Amino acid sequence: MTVETETIPLAKPVIGPKEEALVLEVLRSGQLSLGPRLAAFEQAFAARLGVEHAAAVSSGTAGLHLALRAVGVEEGDEVVTSPLSFVASSNAILYERATPVFADIDPVTLNLDVDAAAAAITERTRALLPVHIFGYPADTPALEAHGLPIVEDACEALGAFHADGLPVGGRGHPAVFGFYANKQITTGEGGLIALGDQRHKVRIDSERNQGRAPDMGWLDHDRLGFNYRLSDVACALGIAQLGRLDAMLADRARVADAYRAAFAADPVEDLTLPCEDRGGERRGWFVFVVQLPHRVDRDATIRALAARGIQSKPYLPAIHLMSFYRERFGFREGQFPICEDVAARSIALPFFPAMTEGQVARVVRELRAVLGA
């Protein structure tokens, strides 16, 4: 029997000559930050989404923080959001001494359940923060009916579309994208806020740069700010990546189709795959997350896959059950049962644009073997 020793990574960015050339051009220019590549990247991204403005920042987390400030979230406010997300979406609320108010998720899309979100709104609710989890569009149109400010966590959802044809991030709310190395495009680290309101753009541009207005000297600042800038080096990388976005999205969709076909050929009982697109909604593929059968030890499965050369990862833990949130807010098991069930069973499988059908087949074969054992 042939033993396959190649490790299949969880994620792998696509970097080529165009990225190298644009980054080298910035390095040779000597202007590594607050240069022309920043505005060029913002304009190209805004055009892609069909919005008026964009503000590039140092991370998706920084973007969420500045966006929440821009819509007026302050100490004592409440923000309704999802407990199934990367912890940054909730942490950003705490940065302003506001309170994250969780509502359970839809069992199919895994996004914020709109009825649960409506029930969580109180007189203290200042904003809603839906998360487009795993690249599937949240029901933002339904949330708009409440008339509250919305900040969209679109960090995983570049390339996704709502049923009405608008891209995720194109509805005019502050919508935050992330560019970590496993995202649809990468700048290494980095993020961007898509914006429909010029006032938000002016405020965010200032606050990402220590509170300095465009016409002020570098030692003069008229408001509290942060060091949330994105360098021109990173923006050059982003420009090149944006130019190949359609091809990378198509490759991601191809890999997802290969997974579906491999699992369909020999189904695993009680294994839940990512939901199919429905009603005109379209996912922007970020990760391929499956929910293991209820009888299976998720963490033991991850260890067994690693021993077979397959990287995988829990995706994602329930935020309210993390130790910091338990201790600070008194959360306990059973409060958001759908989220808790999904979080306990979900793992992300290897998923990246250059992944081959042979690699997909091997991942599925090894997962079946582990579950069978």
pLDDT value of residue 220: 83
Please say whether the beta carbons of 90 and 120 come within 8 A.
Answer: no
Pull the structure tokens for residue 301: 């499965």
**Domain count within the chain:** 2
Pull the structure tokens for residue 291: 């929910």
DSSP state of 189: S
Last residue of a domain, one of 225, 243, 261: 243
Q: Specify whether 251 is located in the same domain as 353.
A: yes
How confident is the prediction along the chain (373 residues), in pLDDT tens digits per residue? 344 679 999 999 999 999 999 999 999 999 999 999 999 999 999 999 999 999 999 999 999 999 999 999 999 999 999 999 999 999 999 999 999 999 999 999 999 999 999 999 999 999 999 999 999 999 999 999 999 999 999 999 999 999 999 999 999 999 999 999 999 999 999 999 999 999 999 999 999 999 998 877 777 888 999 999 999 999 999 999 999 999 999 999 999 999 999 999 989 999 999 999 999 999 999 999 999 999 899 999 999 999 999 999 999 999 999 999 999 999 999 999 999 999 999 999 999 999 999 999 999 999 999 999 7
Pull the structure tokens for residue 210: 């220590």
Which amino acid is located at 59 in the chain?
S
Pairing of strands 191-195, 313-314: unpaired
Q: Residue 330's domain is classified under what CATH number?
A: 3.90.1150.10
Active site residue 183: yes
Q: What is residue 120's three-state secondary structure?
A: helix
Pull the structure tokens for residue 57: 């920042």
Of 171, 141, 165, 168, the residue nearest 153 (C-alpha): 168
Q: Specify whether 164 is located in the same domain as 282.
A: no
The angle, 0 to 180 degrees and rounded to 10, between the axes of the packed helices 245-265 and 357-372 is 40
Bridge partner residues of 290 (DSSP): 347
On whether residue 63 sits in a domain, the answer given is yes
DSSP state of 185: S
CA distance between the termini of the chain: 19
Which position among 12, 183, 201, 313 bears the catalytic label? 183
Last residue of a domain, one of 243, 274, 307: 243
Q: Specify whether 164 is located in the same domain as 283.
A: no
On whether residue 293 sits in a domain, the answer given is yes
Of 281, 277, 257, the residue nearest 351 (C-alpha): 257
| DSSP secondary structure letters along 335-368 | SSHHHHHHHHHEEEEP--TT--HHHHHHHHHHHH
Of 192, 162, 184, the residue nearest 285 (C-alpha): 184
In sequence order, what E strands does the chain have? 53-57, 78-81, 99-102, 125-129, 152-153, 175-178, 191-195, 288-291, 313-314, 346-349
Dist CA 213 CA 223 (whole Å): 9
Half-sphere exposure of 342 (CA within 13 A, CB side): 29
Q: Specify whether 236 is located in the same domain as 268.
A: no
Q: What is residue 65's three-state secondary structure?
A: helix
pLDDT value of residue 181: 96
On whether residue 336 sits in a domain, the answer given is yes
Give residue 150's domain range. Answer: 17-243
pLDDT value of residue 4: 62
pLDDT value of residue 2: 45
Q: Specify whether 250 is located in the same domain as 217.
A: no
Last residue of a domain, one of 227, 243, 259: 243
Q: Specify whether 25 is located in the same domain as 108.
A: yes
Element (H, E) at 203: helix 198-207
Please say whether the beta carbons of 29 and 332 come within 8 A.
Answer: no
DSSP state of 306: H
Which amino acid is located at 310 in the chain?
I
On whether residue 10 sits in a domain, the answer given is no
On whether residue 12 sits in a domain, the answer given is no
Q: Specify whether 60 is located in the same domain as 96.
A: yes
